Amino acid sequence: MATALPYLTRQPGMNNQSNGSLSNRRASLSSFPSSRSPSQMSQNLRQVRSPQDSDRTSEPSVKSKTPSSAPSSQHSSLSAPRRLNADSRSSRRLKSQFPRGTGDNHVEYILVASFDIDRGPVMEHQYPVAITGDENMLAELMLPDQAHARNQDWTIFFLHKDTSQEEEDAERQAKERRRRMRSKRQNSVNGIITEEDDESEDQDDEDNYDDVDDESTDSEPEGGEGPPLIHVLNLVNTKHDKSVKRGAVVKAMAICTRHPFLHIYKPLLLLALEEYFKSPVPETLSMLYDAVNAMDLSLMPRLSLLERHLLLASDNRDLFVEKFEQMIQMRIEEDKADGTPDRHIEDARAERKPSGISRAGTKAHVEGGSQSLYSVPRDTHEFESKVMYKGIPIPIKVPTAVMPETVGDFSLIKLIQNFSDTHAKSPQPFTLHPHLTTNGVSTHPIIVLVNGLLTQKRVIFLGHNMPSGEVAEAVLAACALASGGLLRGFTRHAFPYTDLTKIDDLLNVPGFIAGVTNPTFENHPEWWDILCDLPSGRIKISSKIEPAPITEGLLYFQQQNPTLASFASGTANNTQDHTGDVAFMTDILKSIATRHGERVIRAKWRDWVLKFTRISAQFEESVYGASALYIGGEDEGMILPGASGHGYVWSDDAAKNKELAGNVTRIEGWRNTRSYYSYIQDLAQVYTVRPLKGLDLAHMHDRLRMQRLSPTQSKDIYLTLSKYIHSYDEICLLLNVAPESHAGLFYLALGLFHQDRDVRLKTSELLTRVAEHEAGQHWWKGLSRFEKLAYERIRREVEAEMKAKLEKEGLSPSLERIIS
């Protein structure tokens, strides 16, 4: 274990205005995580209860409770269209990500450090309580090398906080409550009533019943890695003053928060540090602390895991706008019921202006001024709030959906361009390494970097004479690149900025990702496996890197495919693109050149990581007979013969074997890493709340997209999808496997042209349910005019047949209209 920052104690004379839990809590903070071997993680993995013991089927006929009757939003200009399908909206009660009155602070600590010419980095103030112990180490992190050479610099680093006994007990009770609620839900579905389900518990359980799935999937799963990280955003300013030694005053101020979107505090840190230079007293920190923790995020809706994936993969600014409206309507009703309207309502009543809801940035919102008490964000990807600092409203935009390993404000485009441009101008061959050079000596440097992160190599980002903030951004971008929002274990072992004084602690962390500015690291290849030189745009493989071991999986695959044995070994220089990485990087660079946004590039990398995990599952099944990356089973009662199967889909067996051969060394290197074991645990956790456990929708959709199917096979797939996809979550799952970036509903809508009439009718019914869905309506708008005309033609035929049948049975026209 590396250096630990000892326990928190109250600093004498400090005016503590924080919540009471801080003053009584003793927590240990460390900038280095505890070393954990893969074998230890596998032991934790075996303790996870296998979800295969639970019910594998999802009965569409068994519906969840109808949505709670939300207040009418007819007066809103953004009201969702009236839907006939009760499952078009989620059955779970909508909740806030940050409810009012919880007592949880956005920011936990504020730190100030300065550079003393005699003593070096010194910690000046810590608010609201002091982090005692090795304050010098923390001050050194806040004052990076050559900070005096720049007027301003940003750094980011992480602290590892040990959980207290109270927090562990609370987490244990929460897990037990979720387990009890799932058991009760399953009993209610099966018609079983136990003696424990008395009326006294019903009301309390009813309030939490709808949120069991949310609580288990919305919070980032830790996978046994430890408590959440404390993210530290640090600003360093240098004020030149000839009256002091060395002619400058260097001070740093840091905000410590558990939220990964710590970049939203940058404008506040700029103002607060400037104010601290004028009045270096604890009251300055208290003013900032109170301001940021008074920020109201209670109207930001909590999204499920499937909804977050949909939002992050889409550029649609209106996606899930109904949830923001519903949150506002619920707030208005709560204020009316409590009889204690908030400050906005009081101000509006004082001005005698009507209440309403408008869209931020619209003409109605601008012209209405304060007439609109609440506003819906102009882009649902970001929630708009404000922080009142010294009477000045500071606008804040908080990401609505954040996936694991996404910390701060970074740019994948900037990282990719930095190393791609140099490689394109003057490519340099890499030294062959089976885990890293999956396309031979000419492997793209970004692929080498991602391979190194996946196989848990030691990665250093070197930015000599660069601001430490730019180096930290590159480290965070690399973590998100390899994670794709799916894999974990990168940021917990990342050090966005570190220096030579901590090299001994750094080398004790397996598979670290670190950012440095000292060129000494380049001269010690034994310290790293991959060096990313930011100024030159070059990536180097260490001459001291450990060779890749020969694994049983590689030997078994070579025995099964002798013609691909030499290629699969990874020791020969192969120019063929069996992995598809060359084509993928070409597509990425083309998207960047055509000015596609950051969100598009992140979505493409998420698809790449997801594809890699699915290929890995197929490799394990073909070599070892089973895969821990596939949790579930095919329910023969649910799947028609032509729709059977699971996992990644290839056009033929030859293409499958070639792609597996290209990935075998990378997969074998990944199978003994933190991210591999964490991903298995995450799959087990998500499986317990995933709809349609007996169906692999991704497999069926990929077969429609990639294979040439017979009419019978495609019929079975279309009928299976139509039969079992009904509820809100089931449609969300379908939209996740058919994102807008992959043609959306195009391949599903091809069922409208199937030669079997029953398939055409069932496909039109499924598309009707999708079009009525909160998110599906946007996918429906993306269909071509040709497919929409086919849909309308089929619906007219159905209505004509129904009308003729009713007339034949002699029903009255009024009853006919009611039935239609």
pLDDT tens digits, 330-367: 998 888 887 755 444 444 443 333 345 667 666 555 55
Q: What is the pLDDT of residue 412?
A: 97
Inter-axis angle of helices 598-624 and 468-483, to 10 degrees?
A: 50
* Bridge partners, residue 386, by sequence: 395
Percent of the chain scoring above 90 in pLDDT: 59
Q: Rounded distance, CA 285 to CA 742, Å? A: 49
Q: Rounded distance, CA 275 to CA 271, Å? A: 6
Q: Rounded distance, CA 234 to CA 143, Å? A: 9
- Give me 72's structure tokens: 């009418």
Q: Rounded distance, CA 293 to CA 106, Å? A: 5
> Does the pLDDT at position 21 exceed 60?
no
Q: Rounded distance, CA 153 to CA 156, Å? A: 10
Mean pLDDT over 289-300 rounds to: 95
> Does the pLDDT at position 592 exceed 70?
yes
Residues 233 and 263: beta-carbon distance below 8 Å = yes
Any idea which of 88-97, 360-369, 396-405, 698-707 has the lowest mean pLDDT? 360-369
Q: What is the pLDDT of residue 717?
A: 96
- Give me 7's structure tokens: 């326990």
Alpha-carbon torsion (283, 289, 291, 293), positive or negative: negative
Sole residue written with tokens 């959440």? 228
Higher-confidence residue: 785 or 134? Answer: 785
Q: Rounded distance, CA 493 to CA 457, Å? A: 11
> Does the pLDDT at position 567 exceed 60?
yes
Per-chain mean pLDDT for the chain: 81
Neighbours of 456 (CB within 10 A): 24
Percent of the chain scoring above 70 in pLDDT: 75
Q: What is the pLDDT of residue 186?
A: 61
* Side chain identity at residue 325, one-letter code: E
> Does the pLDDT at position 4 exceed 90?
no
Residues 6 or more apart whose Cβ sits within 8 Å of residue 57: 635, 637, 638, 693, 694
Distance of CA 60 to the CA centre of its chain: 28
Q: Rounded distance, CA 85 to CA 798, Å? A: 18
Residue of 174, 77, 157 lying closest to 111 (CA atoms): 157
Residue 301 is given by DSSP the state B
pLDDT band at 401 (very low <50, low <70, confident <90, very high): very high
Phi, psi of 539, deg, nearest 5: -115, 130
Q: What is the pLDDT of residue 352?
A: 35
Which regions of 97-136 does DSSP assign to beta strands (E)?
109-116, 120-127, 130-131
Strands 109-116 and 120-127: antiparallel
- Give me 519's structure tokens: 């060129």
Strands 357-359 and 130-131: unpaired
Q: Rounded distance, CA 465 to CA 459, Å? A: 19
- Give, in order, the Cα–Cα distances in Å from 469 to each of 273, 407, 798: 17, 13, 62
Q: Rounded distance, CA 681 to CA 51, Å? A: 10
Q: Rounded distance, CA 398 to CA 499, Å? A: 31
Q: For the whole prediction, is pTM greater than 0.75?
A: yes
Q: Rounded distance, CA 276 to CA 287, Å? A: 11
Q: What is the pLDDT of residue 174?
A: 63
| Start-to-end Cα distance in the chain | 70
For 607-628, how does the pLDDT look when each residue is reduced to its tens digit (9 = 90+)? 999 999 999 999 999 999 999 9
Neighbours of 574 (CB within 10 A): 23
Q: What is the pLDDT of residue 733?
A: 95
For 110-160, how does the pLDDT look when each residue is reduced to its tens digit (9 = 90+)? 999 998 877 888 999 999 988 765 788 888 889 887 766 778 899 999 988
Residues 6 or more apart whose Cβ sits within 8 Å of residue 378: 317, 359, 360, 361, 362, 384
Residues 6 or more apart whose Cβ sits within 8 Å of residue 155: 141, 142, 144, 234, 236, 468, 469, 472, 496, 497
Q: What is the pLDDT of residue 23?
A: 41
Q: What is the pLDDT of residue 58?
A: 41
Q: Rounded distance, CA 87 to CA 14, Å? A: 54
Q: Rounded distance, CA 88 to CA 777, Å? A: 10
* Bridge partners, residue 123, by sequence: 113
Sole residue written with tokens 């518990």? 201
Q: What is the pLDDT of residue 159?
A: 87
The radius of gyration computed from the CA coordinates of the chain, to the nearest angstrom, equals 29
The CA-based diameter of the chain, rounded to the nearest angstrom, is 102
Q: What is the pLDDT of residue 807?
A: 85
- Give me 193's structure tokens: 């009533």
Q: Rounded distance, CA 155 to CA 266, Å? A: 11
Residues 6 or more apart whose Cβ sits within 8 Å of residue 641: 716
Residue 96 is given by DSSP the state B
Residue-wise DSSP of 22-43: HHH----EESSPPP--HHHHHH
Q: What is the pLDDT of residue 576?
A: 83
Alpha-carbon torsion (400, 403, 404, 409), positive or negative: negative
- Give me 19's structure tokens: 């919540």
Q: What is the pLDDT of residue 290?
A: 95
Tabulate helix, strand, coil % of the chain (nearest 5): 50, 10, 40
Q: What is the pLDDT of residue 353?
A: 36
Q: Rounded distance, CA 142 to CA 233, Å? A: 9
Sole residue written with tokens 């009419």? 711
Please report how many Cα atoms fall inside a 13 Å half-sphere around the Cα of residue 400, on the Cβ side. Answer: 31
Please report how many Cα atoms fall inside a 13 Å half-sphere around the Cα of residue 750, on the Cβ side. Answer: 14
Q: What is the pLDDT of residue 69?
A: 36
Q: Rounded distance, CA 389 to CA 18, Å? A: 17
Inter-axis angle of helices 757-771 and 728-737, to 10 degrees?
A: 100
> Does the pLDDT at position 13 exceed 50?
no
Q: Rounded distance, CA 240 to CA 250, Å? A: 9
> Does the pLDDT at position 218 exceed 70?
no
Q: Rounded distance, CA 611 to CA 380, Å? A: 28
Q: Rounded distance, CA 717 to CA 722, Å? A: 9
Q: Is omega for the bond preceding 128 within 30 degrees of 0, making it cis?
A: yes
Residue of 519, 89, 52 lying closest to 325 (CA atoms): 89
Q: Rounded distance, CA 734 to CA 87, Å? A: 14
Q: What is the pLDDT of residue 206?
A: 40
Q: Rounded distance, CA 248 to CA 576, Å? A: 58
Residues 765 and 60: beta-carbon distance below 8 Å = no
- Give, in order, the Cα–Cα distances in Å from 683 to each of 55, 59, 170, 327, 454: 16, 21, 24, 30, 18
